[in-house]
Amino acid sequence: MPYADPKKNLACKLRWQKAHPENFKRYYEGHKKLHQFRCERWLKKNKSRYQALRKKHRARKDIKRAERGYRLKALYGITVEQFEHMFKKQKGRCPLCSRRFSKTLRPHIDHEHASGRFRGLLCATDNICLASLDRDRTWGRKALKYIGRK
């Protein structure tokens, strides 16, 4: 241990990891099971501490934004900027029913199913209806006929 002070020691360790990414990666690959075992043991011993740390971490605005970014990219292939741009463009409303998005009326990402193109933000109800139209363009006419029948 190069330093008796654990803070200095950790800083030194992190500097080394940054300076030697290949060595660090190789070490990690070779000691994966050991690392996982130690992590799990620490988690079991420090459950409440871990939960408190996690809560604090997730409450950070930058972390929240980053997590939202990963989710949007992974699920819908769009960036937070694209989402926010569309939200502003639509003035925070669903373009089909004109209701304002809120905590109870969340915006849903609408994309063309065939191409995957991001079209805009809709309320959940209209997004589901549009999915039916996407599947079958005559759905709307059929639905109107169905509603009007006696």
Give the interface with Zn ion as residue ranges (CB under 5 A): 94, 96-97, 123, 126
- Smaller CB distance to Zn ion: residue 43 or 97? 97
Q: How far is the CB of 89 from Zn ion (least distance, A)?
A: 16
The owner of tokens 């939960």 is 51
> Which pair of structure tokens corresponds to residue 11?
């800083």
Alpha-helical (H) ranges within the chain are 6-19, 21-30, 32-45, 47-59, 61-76, 80-89, 124-135, 139-148
Q: Which two tokens stand for residue 38?
A: 């130690």
Closest distance of CB 123 from Zn ion, Å = 3
Q: How many helices (H) and strands (E) does the chain have?
A: 8, 2
Using the minimum distance from each CB to Zn ion, give the nearer residue, 64 or 99. Answer: 99
79 three-class SS: coil
Give yes or no for a contact between 120 and 86, defined as CB atoms under 8 angstroms apart: yes
Give the position of tokens 């999915």: 131
Query: Least distance to Zn ion from the beta carbon of 143, Å?
Result: 16
Shorter beta-carbon distance to Zn ion: residue 66 or 124? 124
Nearer to Zn ion, 72 or 120 (CB): 120
Q: How far is the CB of 120 from Zn ion (least distance, A)?
A: 11
Question: CB of 91: closest distance to Zn ion in angstroms?
Answer: 13
Q: Which is nearer to Zn ion, 47 or 106 (CB)?
A: 106
Any idea what DSSP says for residue 113? T
